[in-house]
Amino acid sequence: MRIAIPTDYPGGLEAKISNHFGECDVFTVVEIDPKQTDFKNTKFILIENRNHLNCGALLLRLRKAGTNMIIVKKIGSNALEIIELEKIPIYAADGTVLQVLDKFRSNQLDQISKANICLGKEHEPPSSNS
């Protein structure tokens, strides 16, 4: 099983999950056997275009990497719709990649909910006009 997790730079097992699927620095794609406790290998996919309007292209890159599950902290409604159409299981979690994978192994991940959907504004810097 290959799990894609949007993470902060530089990615990897100790990286924190990015605040938003489409604006992450790196997707950490981890190949695991859910029945074993070790990782077969860890593959990192660098995301060059951080434009979250291009979620279809991000998903295509993840599909080419063999991803069959995605874990996010937050995601936009358009990206979520594309992922659901592709029938890729998607779960919500926070923490480091290693912490999230431990939750996965113990069946403690929650399926994505409305609380994990971004409306866009919360990722913009606050206005300097007070």
Query: What is the percentage of the chain residues whose pLDDT exceeds 90?
Result: 26
Domain spans of the chain, in order of start:
2-117
Q: Rounded distance, CA 10 to CA 30, Å? A: 14
Q: Rounded distance, CA 127 to CA 111, Å? A: 33
CATH class of 2-117: alpha beta
pLDDT at 42 over 80: no
Asked if residues 86 and 7 have their Cβ atoms less than 8 Å apart, the reply is: no
Contacts of 52 (CB under 8 A, 6+ apart): 20, 21, 22, 23, 76, 79
Question: pLDDT by residue (tens digit) across 50-91?
Answer: 655 577 788 888 888 889 999 999 998 888 988 989 899 999
Prediction pTM value: 0.82
Q: Which of 109, 76, 15, 20 has its CA nearest to residue 29?
A: 15
